Amino acid sequence: MRPAINVGLSVSRVGGSAQTKAMRAVAGTLRLDLAQYRALAAFAQFGSDLDKTSQQQLSRGQRMVEILKQKQYSPLPFEKQVAIIFAAANAFLDDLPVNQCRAFEEELYRFLDNAHPDILAQIREKKILDDAIKNDLKAALTELKERFVADQKAAIPAHA
């Protein structure tokens, strides 16, 4: 599956100017971060020992690539894109296994649609991420993360 966004290429001369301020706020360093991730991943293939910072950068890069994947013919509203990129960029996915990132993403959309539609509406209408929206989004992500992790632990059968 290919990422829905190719952060290395601009599709027009306007490039980032065509993005909303909210998307620019969360994806501003995405191109650079993913380029660094790819370079580090290529370097790590040679089996060298990596420091903690490099390991964390690799880990976050894997999760970022995973959440940028999108099913074909399934466009995602920009406010939901902003929410999941914000979550990944602000370390909410760092301690999740990569194979759970997609499930967390889907759960995030359901959670925001049902429990916090005001957050998505504010992002959609204001097209910016002001401090109030960021704080609301962080609180919602923290609440969801606790539930998600608890549900994942409950789903693992206990061995006797």
Active site residues: 13
The partner residues of 35 in beta bridges, in order of sequence, read none
| Own/partner long-range contacts of 51-60 (Cβ < 8 Å, ≥24 apart) | 56/94, 59/94, 60/33, 60/88, 60/91, 60/93, 60/94
Q: The tokens of 81 are what? A: 């894109």
Residue 78 near residue 22 (C-beta atoms within 8 A)? yes
Angle 131-155/101-115 helices, nearest 10 degrees?
A: 120
CA 21 to chain centroid, in Å, comes to: 17
Contact 91, 33 (CB under 8 A): no
Of 7, 37, 2, 3, whose CA–CA distance to 23 is shortest? Answer: 7
